[in-house]
Amino acid sequence: MIEENTVKWIRKLGISSLILMLLTMGMLVTYTTIATAQQPTQMAAKTVAYPPLLDPADTVILLLDHQSGLFQTVKDISVAELRTNTTILAKVAKLAKIPVITTASEPNGPNGPLMPEIHQYAPHAVFVPRKGEISAWDNKDFVDAVRKTGRKTLIMAGVWTSVCVAFPAIQAKAEGYNVYAVIDASGDPSEMASRTTIARLTQAGVIPVSTNAVVCEIQRTWARPDAAEYGDLYSDYAPNYKAAVESYLRAQETLKGKK
């Protein structure tokens, strides 16, 4: 019965009207198809772009709880390597004139004092004591010190990675800062803790990096008067690189002697 009524309706409507209706339906289908195809592109345009390379003029280095007592609990990296990489961050901060802020939750407690190399090689570093807060970002004086710099890119390293770095990194990222976590200048009680922390930081939008990457991004070019000083930092980071440089220099001296 429904089919008969449909046929009668079509005959009554007329061929011209039927063609017009079919064309309209076709245009609607085409529009829907195009709109669907364009949707991923429109969504991709809203995706936050990966941050550009570090700008030293907009960067602050935050070294959190590098305390001698806490070093005894670190198991995912050797303490010697951890201290070396942290020292390199202090040195590159001085070289590039980048502000440094250090902190400790309770330096007089069992966690111990800060490693002295930081303030030795970055004498301009500012120490902000905390009043027991586990996260440095929960301490008003520390946050005020960061804001006072007027800079929006934060390079963080500390002990433990899963707590002393992760908590303030995630909090600062939520407030609009561009945050990098230097994993090999930080330490955790286990490799599992470090791996899960890297995943958590990444999901929060914090960028995990190595000490070497930080130095390279700050340097950017060998065509600069202080290039040799950056070369020394790479030698500190990678002893094998230092050996390669020494071999090259000795070979050059030998060639000059033969001329």
pLDDT, tens only, 126-158: 999 999 999 999 999 999 999 999 999 999 999
* pLDDT for residue 172: 98
| pLDDT category of residue 11 using cuts at 50, 70 and 90 | low
Name the residue with higher pLDDT: 51 or 81: 81
* pLDDT for residue 34: 45
Segment 86-92 shows an average pLDDT of 98
Separation of alpha carbons 226 and 242, rounded Å: 17
* pLDDT for residue 246: 78
Give percent of the chain with pLDDT exceeding 90. Answer: 67
Segment 59-68 shows an average pLDDT of 97
What is the four-CA torsion angle of 233, 234, 239, 242, rounded to 10 degrees?
Answer: -100
Show the domains of the chain with their CATH numbers.
56-219 (3.40.50.850), 227-254 (no CATH)
Name the residue with higher pLDDT: 20 or 239: 239
Query: How many angstroms from the chain centroid is the CA of residue 64?
Result: 16
Give percent of the chain with pLDDT exceeding 70. Answer: 80
pLDDT above 80 (res 44): no
For residue 204, give Cα distances in angstroms to 65, 103, 116, 171, 180.
22, 23, 32, 9, 11
* pLDDT for residue 22: 47
Separation of alpha carbons 55 and 153, rounded Å: 8
Name the residue with higher pLDDT: 240 or 206: 206
**Residue from 240, 178, 175 nearest 53 by CA:** 178
* pLDDT for residue 257: 77
Question: What average pLDDT is seen over the chain?
Answer: 85
Separation of alpha carbons 213 and 220, rounded Å: 10
| pLDDT category of residue 48 using cuts at 50, 70 and 90 | very low
Active site residues: 164
pLDDT above 80 (res 249): no
